[in-house]
Amino acid sequence: EIVLTQSPGTLSLSPGERATLSCRASQSVSSSYLAWYQRKPGQAPRLLIYAASSRATGIPDTFSGGGSGTDFTLTIARLEPEDFAVYYCQHYGSSSWTFGQGTRVEIK
Amino acid sequence: QGQLVESGGGVVQPGESLRLSCAASGFTFSTFGMHWVRQAPGKGLEWVAVLSFDGSNKYYADSVKGRFTISRDNSRNTLYLQMNSLTAEDTAVYYCAKGRTSSGYYTYFDYWGQGTLVTVSP
């Protein structure tokens, strides 16, 4: 089973700053099968990025994804107040759907 | 815009059963594979089960295999999770999620519900 490790656990930043979140896989994965989600308290998780770098419908271009092999990143170019949340990466495959433990982006 | 609404959560004792429902709207439910995902208190997201568009193909996480059953009623646009022999380790918020493929495999989840809380406690 592929294990995803996200870092850092918590990111303390101010609005307007750039956020870079990391997701490392225990073995090489196809970038076609890596997604990122945002979750806010009391809300449904929201798909941000799929296939490592494709933005989901309605996601602003301040969100971008990249990486390949075992190392993937989610970048938020300029943090808006509504972007402070927990972010999860996910690998999806033939019979495996695993998530990282999450990175909390909090207001500094 | 798709919407998923879970229901059926609650407090049960160890060994008891519970059935969760997930009502879908805003998309053609009968053409997509569907999933259940859970999050225990203080823990990360854990995938639970997948069901193909027509109910013919299902797959479970090892942690629930033999105890949980995923099913669907396409005439009612509803997904179910029958949970038997519940233990404290099953305490979690349970989410249903929509895949982008008919099989439910090789897919991210483009819609999620807000979740329903299941608490297993003596």
**Over the stretch A49-84, which tens digit does the pLDDT of each residue have?**
999 999 999 999 999 999 999 999 999 999 999 999
Rounded distance between C-alpha atoms, residue B102 and residue B108, angstroms: 12
Closest CA–CA distance from residue A95 to any residue of chain B (Å): 7
Phi, psi (degrees; rounded to nearest 5) at B17: -120, 160
A95: pLDDT strictly greater than 90: no
B75: pLDDT strictly greater than 90: yes
- Percent over 70 (pLDDT), chain A: 100
Which residues of chain A are within 8 Å of residue B45 when distances are taken between CB atoms?
45, 88, 90, 99, 102
Which of B12, B2, B22, B16 lies closest to B94 in space, CA to CA? B22
Which residues of chain A are within 8 Å of residue B62 when distances are taken between CB atoms?
none
Give chain A's contact residues with B (Cβ, < 8 Å).
33, 35, 37, 42-47, 50, 56, 88, 90, 92-95, 97-102
Q: What is the pLDDT of residue A12?
A: 97
Q: What is the pLDDT of residue B10?
A: 97
Tell me if chain A has a CB within 8 Å of the CB of B105: yes
CB contact under 8 A, B95 and A44: yes
Q: Are A103 and A86 in contact (CB under 8 A)?
A: yes
Which residues of chain B are within 8 Å of residue A47 when distances are taken between CB atoms?
108-112
The predicted model gives B41-61 an average pLDDT of: 95
Q: Which amino acid is at A29?
A: V
User: Hey, of A2, A92, A98, A101, which one would you mutate to test binding to chain B, going by the most B CBs within 10 A of its CB?
Assistant: A92
Reported as a pLDDT band with limits 50, 70 and 90, residue A93 is: confident
Q: Which of A44, A99, A101 sits opposite B113 (nearest CB)?
A: A44
Mean pLDDT computed over every residue of chain B: 96
Reported as a pLDDT band with limits 50, 70 and 90, residue B84 is: very high
The predicted model gives B76-81 an average pLDDT of: 98
Which of B114, B63, B119 lies closest to B91 in space, CA to CA? B119
Q: Are A20 and A8 in contact (CB under 8 A)?
A: no
Q: What is the pLDDT of residue A30?
A: 86
Q: What is the pLDDT of residue B1?
A: 83
A42: pLDDT strictly greater than 90: no
The predicted model gives A5-19 an average pLDDT of: 97
pLDDT higher at A95 or A20: A20
Q: Are B13 and B122 in contact (CB under 8 A)?
A: yes
The predicted model gives A29-39 an average pLDDT of: 92
Closest CA–CA distance from residue A21 to any residue of chain B (Å): 16
Rounded distance between C-alpha atoms, residue A20 and residue A77, angstroms: 8
User: Hey, of B95, B106, B110, B111, which one would you mutate to test binding to chain A, going by the most A CBs within 10 A of its CB?
Assistant: B106
Rounded distance between C-alpha atoms, residue B22 and residue B34, angstroms: 10
B61: pLDDT strictly greater than 90: yes
CB contact under 8 A, B105 and A50: no
Beta-bridged to residue B18, according to DSSP, are B83
B49 Cβ contact partners less than 8 Å away, ≥ 6 residues apart: B35, B36, B58, B59, B60, B61, B64, B68, B70, B81
A96: pLDDT strictly greater than 90: no
Q: What is the pLDDT of residue A98?
A: 95
Q: What is the pLDDT of residue A32?
A: 86
Q: What is the pLDDT of residue B26?
A: 96
